[in-house]
Amino acid sequence: MERRNFLKTAAASAPFLGRVLGANDEIRIGQIGLGTRGTYELEICRRTKGAKVVAVADVFQPLVDQYKEDADGYTDFRHILDRKDIDAVFVSTPDHWHAPIAIMACQAGKDVFCEKPLSHTIHEGSQMVAAARKYNRVMQTGSQQRSAPHFQKIVDLIQHGHIGKISSIECWNEENDTPEGAGNPPDTAPPAGLDWDMYLGPAPKVPYNRNRYIWHYRWFWDYSGGMMTDWGAHHMDVIQWAMQVDGPLSATAAGSRFCLRDNCQTPDTLSTLFEYPGFVVRYSVRQGNSRRIENRPNGIAFYGADGTLIVDRGSWEIVPENAPRFPNDYDRVEAWLKGANVAFPAGFDRNTRTPARPRCAALGETGLKIDPSCQEAHIENFLECIRSRRRPIADVEIGFRSVTACLAGVIAYRLGRKVRWDPKAGTFPGDREAQAMMTKRYRAPWTLPAV
Ligand SMILES: NC(=O)c1ccc[n+]([C@@H]2O[C@H](COP(=O)([O-])OP(=O)(O)OC[C@H]3O[C@@H](n4cnc5c(N)ncnc54)[C@H](O)[C@@H]3O)[C@@H](O)[C@H]2O)c1
């Protein structure tokens, strides 16, 4: 009796608003945002069996018009949310729009594939999780590494202790965009067909500037968090996944827009340091010099006691450690140098003072490709979950935790000091300044919808 009542109450407080799909029903999709990523996702959905893109939305009319043969087009995404025949939406807009659209979509009974970085503020991310749960929606974060077999493999190796105790992790993006960076375009009237006010949405009203629009919006605080959230969301997601942690204990950051002479804002040179229980993570960004780290322009290196594991989207490798395995190996060598008769372990090289045998197997693969196959798998996983109502592989809560680490880094950078974070409580304990930066102002009439 009690259980039945509980279920009834649960059902009443969280109504299932969407269509219930049978195994053979086509999933009807609305694509919101038709820029670089949105069109890529739309093309994948178009060739995926069992799915159909029936509507598209973008604030730039010419982009919408490209699809007029195959889909209904809108410049206001709310028309997609109003339609009862649409099951799911892809949110591929700049980051400042992710949370408002995703939450409204949940409230309209749609399942959501939301691009990374999941949200623009920490509070937004928490509300996206709350909305997905309250309205029983599937929400996949666009962190496609989760669906990539080689990332799954390295996570498995790390979790099985293959490279031993990991105490230090580095991740990086190094490139050279000097001296002009994104350049200095003047403010102008927006191009014909662009609803600039709708593009800005909840962000402050500013004149149109080409750099605040397609692609380069990433380098403005009003719409994004710069490299720290743009690429950082990928790196930190893999790191937190491999290390089975929910968030850092602190973040510190140093850098500036030192070397790019353009009108953008986020740092072109950045070093962010995160403390986690038992290890540290450093994220390094250089947009003024492309010298590779670990022979890769971007990647992650896990430094373990038995080996180093380096991974990027096209390859991974394990470089074993050769240092003495036991502290007394050095003592043995010292004694031997003094003429003592010492028994050495098999394979121990007295002359180099290192054991000849590596501490772990040297493994790896090259020539891998994450795109488009892993993105296809990632979208497939989302579609499967729409049918099964299971949580997807990069569930909204995972995306929330990954972006939260990045946003703690952004807050540390913007405050110019170390911030302490409590991943369990979801607060910066005793730090009112940092707490205040967990949210932002929304320009009327836009708000973050109450969940
Ligand atoms: N998973 C990945 O590897 C990956 C790769 C690239 C981009 N992304 C993410 O995808 C998102 C989009 O990035 P992008 O590079 O495609 O940007 P982009 O600038 O190329 O495209 C963004 C598009 O969104 C449109 N838009 C803005 N506000 C809108 C609104 N309210 N309604 C409808 N359309 C709106 C713009 O007009 C533009 O066409 C970002 O969050 C980015 O981080 C993810």
Ligand 1, residue 38: give the atom nearest the CA.
Answer: 16
* Cα–Cα separations (whole angstroms), residue 299 to 173, 174, 239, 281, 313: 7, 10, 11, 13, 8
Q: What pLDDT score does 9 carry?
A: 41
Asked if the structure places residue 443 within a domain, the reply is: no
Each residue's pLDDT tens digit, 293-346: 999 999 999 999 999 999 999 999 999 987 665 555 667 767 777 888 877 766
Asked if the structure places residue 446 within a domain, the reply is: no
Each residue's pLDDT tens digit, 431-441: 999 999 999 99
Both 275 and 126 in a single domain?
A: no
179 CA to centre of ligand 1 in angstroms: 26
411 CA to centre of ligand 1 in angstroms: 23
Both 340 and 219 in a single domain?
A: yes
Average pLDDT over residues 22-36: 93
Average pLDDT over residues 260-288: 98
Both 262 and 407 in a single domain?
A: yes
Asked if the structure places residue 177 within a domain, the reply is: yes
Average pLDDT over residues 10-20: 58
Cis peptide bond upstream of 345, omega within 30: no
Both 130 and 167 in a single domain?
A: no
Segments forming the whole domain that contains residue 348: 149-372+402-436
Both 220 and 309 in a single domain?
A: yes
Both 219 and 337 in a single domain?
A: yes
| Token output for 235 | 């790196």
Each residue's pLDDT tens digit, 62-96: 999 999 999 999 999 999 999 999 999 999 999 99
Both 106 and 187 in a single domain?
A: no
Asked if the structure places residue 268 within a domain, the reply is: yes
- pTM of the complete model: 0.92
CATH number at residue 308: 3.30.360.10
Each residue's pLDDT tens digit, 205-239: 999 999 999 999 999 999 999 999 999 999 999 99
Each residue's pLDDT tens digit, 391-448: 999 999 999 999 999 999 999 999 999 999 999 999 999 999 999 999 999 999 999 9
CA 334 from chain centre, in angstroms, equals: 49
Which residues does 268 contact at the CB level (< 8 Å), separation at least 6? 177, 181, 255, 256, 257, 258, 259, 260, 285, 286, 287, 288
Ligand 1 pocket, residues with Cβ under 6 angstroms: 32-38, 57-60, 63, 77, 92-95, 97, 115-116, 142, 144, 198-199, 201, 214-215, 217, 230
Both 64 and 213 in a single domain?
A: no
Asked if the structure places residue 207 within a domain, the reply is: yes
Please choose from 42, 59, 146 the residue to mutate so as to test ligand 1's pocket, defined by most ligand atoms within 8 A of CB: 59
Phi-psi category of residue 419: left, alpha or beta, with phi > 0 → left and psi -120 to 50 → alpha = beta
Asked if the structure places residue 449 within a domain, the reply is: no
Task: Give strand pairing partners of 141.
Answer: 114
184 CA to centre of ligand 1 in angstroms: 22
Q: Which of 119-123, 181-185, 354-358 has the lowest mean pLDDT?
A: 354-358
Ligand 1, residue 95: give the atom nearest the CA.
Answer: 41
Q: Which residue puts its alpha carbon closest to atom 31 of ligand 1? A: 199
How many alpha carbons lie under 13 Å from residue 296 in its C-beta half-sphere? 20
Both 380 and 424 in a single domain?
A: no
Both 195 and 241 in a single domain?
A: yes
Asked if the structure places residue 224 within a domain, the reply is: yes
Please choose from 58, 80, 145 the residue to mutate so as to test ligand 1's pocket, defined by most ligand atoms within 8 A of CB: 58
Both 199 and 66 in a single domain?
A: no
The Cα–Cα gap between 395 and 402 comes to: 11
Asked if the structure places residue 70 within a domain, the reply is: yes
CATH number at residue 21: 3.40.50.720
Q: What pLDDT score does 16 carry?
A: 52
Tokens 């170390």, residue?
Answer: 418
Q: What pLDDT score does 24 carry?
A: 80
Contact by Cβ (8 Å): 291, 297: no
Both 164 and 178 in a single domain?
A: yes
Q: What pLDDT score does 12 carry?
A: 43
31 CA to centre of ligand 1 in angstroms: 11
Q: Is the pLDDT of residue 18 over 80?
A: no
91 CA to centre of ligand 1 in angstroms: 8
Structural domains of the chain, count: 2
Q: What is the DSSP letter of 412?
A: H
Please choose from 115, 124, 222, 407 the residue to mutate so as to test ligand 1's pocket, defined by most ligand atoms within 8 A of CB: 115
SS3 142: coil
Edge-first strand order for the sheet with 139-141 is: 72-74, 51-57, 27-32, 88-91, 111-114, 139-141
Tokens 């009834």, residue?
Answer: 8
